[in-house]
Amino acid sequence: MKKPLILICNDDGITAPGILNLIESVKDLAEVVVVAPDSPQSGMGHAITIDSTLEVNKVQLDSSLSHIEAYSTSGTPADCVKLALHEILDRKPDLCISGINHGANSSINVIYSGTMSAAIEAGVEGIPAIGFSLLDFSWNANFSACHAVVQTLVSEALEKGMPEGTVLNVNIPKTDGAPVKGIKVCRQARANWKEKFDKRVSPSGKEYYWLTGDFVLLDQGEDTDIAALEAGYVSVVPTQFDLTAHHSMTHINSWDLKI
Amino acid sequence: MKKPLILICNDDGITAPGILNLIESVKDLAEVVVVAPDSPQSGMGHAITIDSTLEVNKVQLDSSLSHIEAYSTSGTPADCVKLALHEILDRKPDLCISGINHGANSSINVIYSGTMSAAIEAGVEGIPAIGFSLLDFSWNANFSACHAVVQTLVSEALEKGMPEGTVLNVNIPKTDGAPVKGIKVCRQARANWKEKFDKRVSPSGKEYYWLTGDFVLLDQGEDTDIAALEAGYVSVVPTQFDLTAHHSMTHINSWDLKI
């Protein structure tokens, strides 16, 4: 039987330890092709490149991964998936996985996440997809606990398929290498960021800002991704790209919309 | 009574006719402050600027809008909203409106839309918000039909408020200036893009790509935004930023997730 094909993307760039760990975890489960940005793209949300050109270069991964087919692109994570599906791959992948992101994409962070935008882009094109993130921003993060998580979820996705219109947002707690407590299916916690702008003055006297902020949890539910992560579990949030707020239809239909 | 405060953003940049038309339509309904990108940001999705700095400049709008407080920023649409709420405005706006985008943001395009990312960013911060888009990419688009649409929806939003966790995605059909047929509350049509990459070779021999593609409607429902627009109506899709796919919970919970 032909091996399944897995497309691997990320938003931290093709040299990030996170994506190398992701490749390592699945390379014996499937045929793997990697298409990832040539530089970090964190916070890119679902950006695509429509007003400039894109470049693609075949690259050689290091040592134990040197036999894996891999490409870097000048585009965003969503661009990488589009390029992979329509220019690079000669067949439709059975699964697209993205990450492992260096840092959390739980709760409202899903909407800013380049990692998840790659997974969502694949989902829109009808391909089962999973985004993986580790709750550790460090480039030298310890990815040991991720291996079993990735293998479990990838195996299940390949075997059981993904419900239509759904991709998975997987966040993995930071550990010193010890195994996680388990995996929980959750909903996205309500939260936002309380922004602070760090205002500075350049040597030439021009004011500029750095975006900083504090995460504000607005949700005490025990069934959220934040609650699972705080308890030491991996959170798996089934995530959709039909953004229709069906629960608000009645309210908006009560408006006087005659013009 | 104090006038309500409306924050106005867009993604085509502060000089775009679309935002000037939006300001014109609401300037007598409320106090207005404009914070918009200094250059076009189409296709930016929900990108934010986390690895570089942001600049803000007070600007003078032309002629009849010269009394309106306005700022341009070097950031994305989502950055503009964050800067407005946390650095520029001295009180919380009653409403944030974004657009009028030159081009459609109906159906799946909502996830790539800078216009909608500004509205969603405001919604995440608890501010009622509406994104407006006209189905005409031209810089010289005819915005005449938009005026009544904007005034109707803004007045209703200010009077009746927005359901929690909801922002509105409003698309307006292209007309030659004739009024639209009416306004319909809709769901997001299922669709995707069939990408084509236009591959070229630079003068120095390097290959590069332009992203192009065809819109593919996967949904024959009569209650969708696409159906409303094709029939000559304005589409209003209540849009949410809790992306949890509740309908997929049972499926994913049936997976073997023991590790």
d(CA A181, CA A135): 15
Q: Do residue B240 and residue A244 have CB atoms under 8 angstroms apart?
A: yes
pLDDT on residue B52: 82
pLDDT of residue A63 exceeding 90: no
pLDDT tens digit string along A34-62?
999 998 877 777 788 877 889 999 999 98
pLDDT on residue A51: 75
Q: Do residue A85 and residue B196 have CB atoms under 8 angstroms apart?
A: no
Residue with token string 């408006």: A255
Residue range A125-148: average pLDDT? Answer: 96
CA-wise closest residue to A111 among B202, B239, B67: B239
CA-wise closest residue to A101 among A17, A174, A18: A18
Contacts of B259 in chain A (CB under 8 A): 148-149, 152, 179-180, 182-183
d(CA B29, CA A247): 29
d(CA A146, CA A143): 5
Please give the model's pTM, rounded to 2 decimal places.
0.93
- Ranges of chain B with pLDDT below 70: 1
Question: Computed over its alpha carbons, how large is the radius of gyration of chain A?
Answer: 19
Residue of B nearest to A82 (CA): B195
Residue type, B131: G
Residue range A201-227: average pLDDT? Answer: 92
List the single range of A46-55, A224-233, A248-257, B204-213 with lowest mean pLDDT: A46-55
pLDDT on residue B143: 97
pLDDT on residue A1: 67
E strand intervals along A11-94: 31-37, 56-59, 69-73
pLDDT on residue A40: 85
Confidence of residue A120 (pLDDT cuts 50, 70, 90): very high
Task: Locate all alpha helices (DSSP H) within B27-174, ordered by sequence.
Answer: 77-83, 114-124, 146-160
pLDDT tens digit string along A177-205?
899 999 999 999 999 998 888 999 988 88
CA dihedral for A33, A37, A39, A45, sign (positive or negative)? negative
pLDDT of residue A161 exceeding 90: yes
Domains and CATH numbers, chain A: 5-188+222-243 (3.40.1210.10)
Contacts of B208 in chain A (CB under 8 A): 53-55
CA-wise closest residue to B73 among B100, B102, B52: B52
